[in-house]
Chains A and B, each alone.
Chain A
Amino acid sequence: MNNGSARIAGAIVTYGFVGLMAFLSIFPFVWMLLGATNSSIDIIKGKMLPGSALATNISTFFTQVNAPLVFWNSAKIAILATALTLAVSSLAGYGFEMFRSRRRDRIYSALLLTMMIPFAALMIPLFIMMGKVGLINTHLAVVLPSIGSAFVVFYFRQCTKAFPSELRDAAKVDGLKEWQIFLYIYVPVMRSTYAAAFIIVFMTAWNNYLWPLIVLQSNETKTITLVISSLASAYYPDYGVVMVGTILATLPTLAVFFFMQRQFVQGMLGSVK
């Protein structure tokens, strides 16, 4: 039947496309896992099967890298940046949505416009600023610029639109001050929005590379992303070791995502029902 074969053809195209996309997203992971078990030479040759070099790669990684320090640095930066970003941006999103003012939308547009400025353009002025206040080579220099994130403010404002304004009115009648409404009503009600934002911000902070590369100069301050990249850019990079590092670096974000998956999806769908 014509109709039937058309449907089959459609299905083939659909599944083909979906399969291709799935392959494209999964392949790097598989390669990373396989790579960790192979020697550098085998990886360069394009070997696609599990090898026997896993133990060697792991021990090489841990002798070359001061793993506890490096992971501690990454974790410290990511957690601090995430906590501060969520606090500041959610307050800003709440404020932008709740308080009417004639200048509100102009300021908001200006804020959103800052998303258009490529980070590369900000790097040099930012570096000079950090230098002036003596923060070069400190973790604070990595954390501070990430806090006022226009994107996260935008995300919170959008989600705040679903926050019922009558809830705020009810809280006012119940005697809460604005900051108490925020803390005791808004934050718990918007829990899943926070969870979604947490994942996004945490991953960004954890994977942050360019800016830390510039401001973190001594080995004691370096993060895992910087260390992996320096392994990979060695004169004779050992790709097996790089893969081991990459796997280890992926674990925390994976863990965060798995633990908060449900809230993340809820947050993406809109938290208030």
Chain B
Amino acid sequence: MSELQLSDVRKSYGNFEVIKGVDLDIRTGEFVVFVGPSGCGKSTLLRMIAGLEEITSGDLLIDGERMNDVDPSKRGIAMVFQSYALYPHMTVRENMGFALRFAGVPKAEIDSRVGEAANILELGPLLDRKPKQLSGGQRQRVAIGRAIVRHPKIFLFDEPLSNLDAELRVHMRIEIARLHKKLATTIIYVTHDQVEAMTLADKIVVMRGGVVEQVGSPLDLYDDPANLFVAGFIGSPKMNFLKGIVEMGAGGDKHVRLPDFGNATLPVTARDAAPGSAVTIGIRPEHFGDNGSAHLALTIDMLEHLGGETFAYARHGNGELIVIETKNGRSLKSGDSIAARFDSTVALVFDADGRRLR
């Protein structure tokens, strides 16, 4: 049975619909990450699950029970906020025990749960400090501790790491992953950060404009995006998109002609690509190489040598920049002409509306 279920969930502010019918199933223990561009409704959806925003229509089920109108504290969730939202006038210990104290949990039980959470997060020495006396990373850990103490069925995180510096972010990311392993609790996590999404998630939910574009495991989304948006959103540097036209060859073989690349052609296997139609070909930077059935004649514009790999930004004539990732690109120089080869079977084909053609 799924732990959390959204069916046709919608949210409007006045006449303005922000969440436009979301269906989603989350299994117990899953780490689910919501990603999407700013303003797409990730936070709103999370807050609806938390009970901080009213659900305009649709159903929210937790453990099979309809939770639309249940008080946030009774949904079996705990939330970690972007700004940590620690109570500034309480010590770390009081912050962590506050919800329990309010729920009338006996003092001994509170102490033991706070102690347990403090152990997990190594907060022991900080328990009697006020939030003001903590560093950003420590505050974040306290915020997580405050959530753990409640033994929730579901953790909700809204961009919990975005106020931390890069190094600490990596550290906390690993810590959260470790925590998930340890507690095996369901986590719903909102982030802007590609890497966080790819590394943490069992399941990524890509949102845009209040709708779910695709749900799947990180690698599924990477390898097999359902549309142009997901293809472009997942992966960094971004997937290259080439405009093309589907044509029938003399021998009855279907291929795509790329007018912007000297009319280079590549065979397509997508059955749904109708001859004469405009399509977009998607190729990831790392899919270019020295071998492959298709090739583009490009001139290198700029290079980024990262040591282990090289990103070459190249173009055909004055066309759009193509990003190529290569392991052995140290000898390349800008101005070099190259033949960027790729296997046409790894190229993705999208129709004019951005839908994936298979």
A residues adjacent to B (C-beta < 8 A): 164, 166-167, 169-176, 180, 185, 188-189, 191, 272-273
Contacts and interface: CB of A to CB of B under 8 A. Distances in A.
A66 to B, nearest CB: 43
Nearest to A167: B85
Interface in B199-236: none
Nearest to A190: B89
B81 A170 contact: yes
Task: Select the residue from A164, A170, A180, A185 with max chain B CB neighbours within 10 A.
Answer: A170
B357 to A, nearest CB: 44
How extensive is the interface on chain B, given as a class?
Answer: 20 to 34
B51 A175 contact: no
Interface stretch (B98-106, B114-122, B279-287, B310-318): B98-106
B335 interface: no
Contacts of A173: 50-52, 72-73, 77-79, 99
A174 B99 CA distance: 5
Contact of B89 (A164, A171, A188, A273): A188
B102 A176 contact: yes
A-B residue pairs, 6 tightest by C-beta:
A175-B73, A174-B99, A166-B85, A170-B85, A188-B89, A166-B81
B83 interface: yes
A156 B27 CA distance: 45
Interface string B52-90: 100000000000000000011110011101110111110
A169 B85 contact: yes
Nearest to A177: B71
A171 B102 CA distance: 10
A172 B85 contact: no
Task: Select the residue from A169, A173, A174, A175 with max chain B CB neighbours within 10 A.
Answer: A173
Contacts of B146: 170
A211 B88 CA distance: 41
A151 to B, nearest CB: 27
Contact of A174 (B47, B51, B89, B102): B102
Task: Select the residue from B78, B88, B99, B146 with max chain A CB neighbours within 10 A.
Answer: B88
A164 B87 CA distance: 10
Nearest to B47: A169
A189 B85 contact: no
Contacts of A167: 85, 87
Contacts of B73: 172-176
Contacts of B88: 189, 272
A180 B87 CA distance: 14
B52 A172 contact: yes
A169 B81 contact: yes
B171 to A, nearest CB: 23
Contact of A169 (B79, B98, B99): B79
Given A174-B98, A174-B99, A175-B102, A166 B72 contact: no
A175 B99 contact: yes
Interface in B22-45: none
B131 to A, nearest CB: 11
A151 B212 CA distance: 47
B83 A164 contact: yes
Contacts of A272: 88
